Protein backbone atom coordinates (compact mmCIF):
# COMPACT_ATOMS: atom_id res chain seq x y z
CA UNK A 1 0.00 0.00 0.00
CA UNK A 2 1.40 3.44 -0.88
CA UNK A 3 1.46 6.40 1.53
CA UNK A 4 -1.71 7.92 0.08
CA UNK A 5 -3.65 4.68 0.59
CA UNK A 6 -2.22 4.13 4.09
CA UNK A 7 -3.08 7.68 5.11
CA UNK A 8 -6.63 7.82 3.81
CA UNK A 9 -7.47 4.30 5.01
CA UNK A 10 -7.50 5.88 8.51
CA UNK A 11 -9.42 9.06 7.70
CA UNK A 12 -13.14 9.44 8.42
CA UNK A 13 -15.51 11.05 5.92
CA UNK A 14 -15.94 14.80 6.29
CA UNK A 15 -17.91 15.86 9.36
CA UNK A 16 -20.42 18.75 9.58
CA UNK A 17 -17.57 21.29 9.68
CA UNK A 18 -15.81 19.73 6.71
CA UNK A 19 -13.03 18.23 8.81
CA UNK A 20 -11.61 14.93 7.62
CA UNK A 21 -10.45 13.38 10.87
CA UNK A 22 -7.50 11.04 11.30
CA UNK A 23 -8.54 7.94 13.28
CA UNK A 24 -5.10 6.44 13.78
CA UNK A 25 -2.27 7.05 16.23
CA UNK A 26 -1.60 10.53 17.65
CA UNK A 27 1.53 12.02 19.19
CA UNK A 28 1.81 13.63 22.63
CA UNK A 29 0.77 17.00 21.14
CA UNK A 30 -2.44 15.56 19.71
CA UNK A 31 -1.41 15.51 16.05
CA UNK A 32 -2.08 12.42 13.94
CA UNK A 33 0.98 10.41 13.03
CA UNK A 34 1.73 7.71 10.48
CA UNK A 35 4.90 5.62 10.68
CA UNK A 36 6.81 5.48 7.40
CA UNK A 37 10.20 3.77 7.13
CA UNK A 38 10.51 3.59 10.92
CA UNK A 39 9.73 7.27 11.55
CA UNK A 40 6.51 9.01 12.62
CA UNK A 41 5.26 11.72 10.26
CA UNK A 42 2.45 14.13 11.14
CA UNK A 43 -0.49 13.30 8.93
CA UNK A 44 -1.66 16.86 8.25
CA UNK A 45 1.76 17.53 6.71
CA UNK A 46 1.56 14.31 4.67
CA UNK A 47 -1.94 15.24 3.47
CA UNK A 48 -0.67 18.68 2.39
CA UNK A 49 2.27 17.20 0.51
CA UNK A 50 0.14 14.56 -1.21
CA UNK A 51 -2.30 17.23 -2.41
CA UNK A 52 -0.07 20.26 -3.02
CA UNK A 53 3.53 19.04 -3.15
CA UNK A 54 6.54 19.72 -0.93
CA UNK A 55 6.32 22.14 1.98
CA UNK A 56 8.77 25.00 1.40
CA UNK A 57 11.59 25.40 3.93
CA UNK A 58 10.58 27.49 6.94
CA UNK A 59 6.82 27.07 6.50
CA UNK A 60 4.31 25.21 8.63
CA UNK A 61 1.12 23.44 7.67
CA UNK A 62 -1.51 25.26 9.74
CA UNK A 63 -5.14 24.37 10.50
CA UNK A 64 -7.92 26.86 9.71
CA UNK A 65 -10.26 24.63 11.72
CA UNK A 66 -7.89 24.31 14.71
CA UNK A 67 -8.47 20.53 14.78
CA UNK A 68 -5.06 18.88 15.03
CA UNK A 69 -6.24 15.57 13.55
CA UNK A 70 -7.91 17.18 10.52
CA UNK A 71 -6.27 16.31 7.18
CA UNK A 72 -8.57 18.26 4.83
CA UNK A 73 -5.85 19.72 2.58
CA UNK A 74 -8.45 21.20 0.23
CA UNK A 75 -9.84 23.85 2.57
CA UNK A 76 -8.74 23.38 6.19
CA UNK A 77 -4.95 23.42 5.86
CA UNK A 78 -2.75 26.32 4.77
CA UNK A 79 0.93 27.14 4.66
CA UNK A 80 2.28 29.84 6.94
CA UNK A 81 5.26 31.01 8.94
CA UNK A 82 5.46 30.73 12.72
CA UNK A 83 4.35 34.38 12.82
CA UNK A 84 1.34 33.61 10.60
CA UNK A 85 0.37 30.70 12.84
CA UNK A 86 0.68 32.87 15.97
CA UNK A 87 -1.36 35.68 14.38
CA UNK A 88 -4.04 33.14 13.43
CA UNK A 89 -4.17 31.86 17.03
CA UNK A 90 -4.42 35.39 18.43
CA UNK A 91 -7.15 36.35 15.94
CA UNK A 92 -9.15 33.29 17.00
CA UNK A 93 -8.66 33.96 20.70
CA UNK A 94 -6.82 30.71 21.35
CA UNK A 95 -3.33 32.08 21.93
CA UNK A 96 -1.69 31.57 25.28
CA UNK A 97 -1.44 34.87 27.04
CA UNK A 98 1.07 36.06 29.53
CA UNK A 99 1.09 38.23 32.61
CA UNK A 100 -2.16 39.19 34.29
CA UNK A 101 -4.10 38.28 31.13
CA UNK A 102 -3.33 34.62 31.71
CA UNK A 103 -6.36 33.10 33.43
CA UNK A 104 -4.12 31.25 35.89
CA UNK A 105 -2.13 34.32 36.98
CA UNK A 106 -2.15 35.07 40.71
CA UNK A 107 -0.23 38.31 40.26
CA UNK A 108 -1.09 41.54 38.48
CA UNK A 109 1.30 43.72 36.51
CA UNK A 110 1.22 46.16 39.45
CA UNK A 111 2.14 43.35 41.87
CA UNK A 112 5.13 42.45 39.72
CA UNK A 113 6.27 46.07 39.46
CA UNK A 114 6.18 46.21 43.27
CA UNK A 115 8.08 42.94 43.59
CA UNK A 116 10.84 44.31 41.38
CA UNK A 117 11.52 47.21 43.77
CA UNK A 118 10.77 45.44 47.06
CA UNK A 119 13.59 44.96 49.58
CA UNK A 120 11.91 41.79 50.93
CA UNK A 121 13.34 38.33 50.27
CA UNK A 122 11.92 36.05 47.58
CA UNK A 123 10.45 33.78 50.25
CA UNK A 124 8.81 36.67 52.13
CA UNK A 125 7.29 38.02 48.91
CA UNK A 126 6.12 34.54 47.94
CA UNK A 127 4.30 34.20 51.28
CA UNK A 128 2.75 37.66 50.90
CA UNK A 129 1.46 36.97 47.40
CA UNK A 130 0.61 33.28 47.85
CA UNK A 131 2.95 32.05 45.12
CA UNK A 132 6.04 29.82 45.03
CA UNK A 133 9.32 31.52 45.78
CA UNK A 134 10.56 30.31 42.38
CA UNK A 135 7.98 32.60 40.76
CA UNK A 136 9.43 35.58 42.59
CA UNK A 137 12.95 34.48 41.63
CA UNK A 138 11.88 34.22 37.98
CA UNK A 139 10.41 37.71 38.08
CA UNK A 140 13.54 39.18 39.62
CA UNK A 141 15.90 37.34 37.24
CA UNK A 142 13.93 38.49 34.20
CA UNK A 143 12.82 35.02 33.05
CA UNK A 144 9.18 35.61 34.04
CA UNK A 145 6.90 38.61 33.50
CA UNK A 146 9.45 40.04 31.07
CA UNK A 147 6.96 42.55 29.72
CA UNK A 148 7.11 44.56 32.97
CA UNK A 149 9.77 47.30 32.73
CA UNK A 150 12.73 46.70 34.99
CA UNK A 151 13.78 49.48 37.36
CA UNK A 152 17.19 51.04 36.72
CA UNK A 153 19.99 49.22 38.56
Q: Which sequence spans correspond to the domains of the chain?
A: 3-91, 99-141
pTM of the entire predicted model: 0.64
Distance separating the N- and C-terminal Cα atoms of the chain: 66
Q: Is 118 exposed, middle or buried (0-12, 13-18, 19+ CB in 10 A)?
A: middle
Dist. CA 32–CA 28, nearest whole Å: 10
pLDDT block averages, 10 residues each, the chain of length 153? 91 95 94 95 97 97 95 96 87 71 80 93 94 92 86 78
Dist. CA 5–CA 127, nearest whole Å: 59
In this predicted structure, what is the pLDDT of residue 105? 80
Q: Note the CATH number of domain 3-91.
A: 3.90.75
In this predicted structure, what is the pLDDT of residue 146? 82
In this predicted structure, what is the pLDDT of residue 96? 60
In this predicted structure, what is the pLDDT of residue 92? 82
In this predicted structure, what is the pLDDT of residue 103? 67
In this predicted structure, what is the pLDDT of residue 91? 82
In this predicted structure, what is the pLDDT of residue 95? 67
In this predicted structure, what is the pLDDT of residue 60? 97
Contact 149, 114 (CB under 8 A): no
DSSP state of 10: T
- Its sign, for the CA torsion 83, 25, 7, 39, is positive
DSSP state of 151: P
Q: Is 116 exposed, middle or buried (0-12, 13-18, 19+ CB in 10 A)?
A: middle
Amino acid sequence: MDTNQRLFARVAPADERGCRLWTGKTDRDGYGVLRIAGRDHRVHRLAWELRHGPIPEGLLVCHRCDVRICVNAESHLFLGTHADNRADAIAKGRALTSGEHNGNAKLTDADVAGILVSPLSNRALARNFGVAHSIIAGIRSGTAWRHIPRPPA
